[in-house]
Amino acid sequence: MKYQKVKAYSLQVNLKLGDIEENLKKIRGYIENVSGNSLLVLPEMFSSGFDNENLAVHSKKTPQILRELKEVSRKRNLTVIGTLPENIKGKIFNRAFVIDNGEVIYKQSKIKLFKPTGEDRYFSAGRRLNVIKTSKGKIGILICFELRFPELAYKLRKEEVEIIVVSAQWGKARKKHFEVLSKGRAIEEQAFLISSDTTGRIGDIEMAGSSGIYSPWGGTLDFADEEEKLLSAELDIKEVYVVRRAIKMY
């Protein structure tokens, strides 16, 4: 079987709470440095951050943001993944969107809401968790706090995930947890893992940074500590199956 090689990027940035235009301006600048026919992972709630009191307003901008990203994706053959607020019949969801070659092919709402920061008071929880076939491989998504739940990662592995994407806003107080869990999930599920976190202070919370791209063997292909950075690596999907044959777990 012939396995593809995927150019992958993860964006680590600081966001301005509630300032959609400024955040998108910054993200557009980084996207200009992304090569065509590649995979790009954006942080959790990358348009507004967790400006929870104004989510209903921010969610109104989500359709336009998706239209813009769909056009970029179509023109440059990109697969783009990140989360945005979406209003469904009066309920707000923290929803991951998979945009592949100009189309939204999958949506997944955050299942495990982070109660210490009150997410459960502002967001409704999702239920769906599946691996999606994209032009860049079989991708599964974990949204921030969900990285802590091995049963979620295990479900993705049972569906033969090749690339696990983690879109996050992870607090600096738990910085080392994010680093260890990201690498650990890659090793545990024998898959590539791409994490995209925010950095610096956003509102009242200092973010962890520590975004990374990891191999199925646990190798660090790229990493950002607390600086803003566009991480990149080439993923040889064949490596997933080489590792799984070497150590059969399931």
pLDDT averaged over consecutive 10-residue blocks of the chain (250 residues)? 93 98 98 97 98 98 98 98 98 98 98 97 98 98 98 98 98 98 98 98 97 98 98 98 94
Cβ–Cβ contacts within 10 Å for residue 167, how many?
Answer: 28
Q: Which residue has the tokens 């869990």?
A: 181
Backbone torsion region of residue 152, taken as left when φ is above 0, otherwise alpha when ψ lies between -120 and 50, otherwise beta: alpha
Based on the number of CB atoms within 10 Å of its own CB, is 154 exposed (0-12), middle (13-18) or buried (19 or more)? middle
10 Å CB burial of residue 113 (0-12, 13-18, 19+) is buried
Q: Give the containing element (helix H, strand E) for 3.
A: none
Q: Which residue, 193, 249, 178, is CA-closest to 81? A: 193
Output 29-32 pairs: Cβ under 8 A, ≥24 positions apart.
Answer: 30/230, 31/72
Residue 53's contacts (CB-CB under 8 Å, 6 or more residues apart) are none
Residues for the chain: how many in total? Answer: 250
pTM score of the predicted model: 0.97
Q: Considering only CA atoms, which of 18, 123, 141, 19 is closest in space to residue 80?
A: 141
Distance separating alpha carbons of residues 107 and 248, to the nearest angstrom: 31
Phi, psi of 234 (to 5 degrees): -100, 125
**pLDDT of amino acid 2:** 83
Sorted by where each starts, the structural domains of the chain and their CATH numbers stand as: 5-246 (3.60.110.10)
Rg (CA), the chain: 17
Give pLDDT, residue 1.
73
The CA-atom distances, in angstroms, between 78 and each of 45, 148, 183, 196, 212 are 20, 29, 25, 17, 20
CA-to-CA dists, residue 207 to 17, 148, 165, 170, 227, angstroms: 12, 17, 19, 6, 11
Tell me how far CA of residue 201 lies from CA of 37, 95, 122, in angstroms: 33, 23, 21
Contacts of 17 (CB under 8 A, 6+ apart): 48, 49, 50, 51, 202, 203
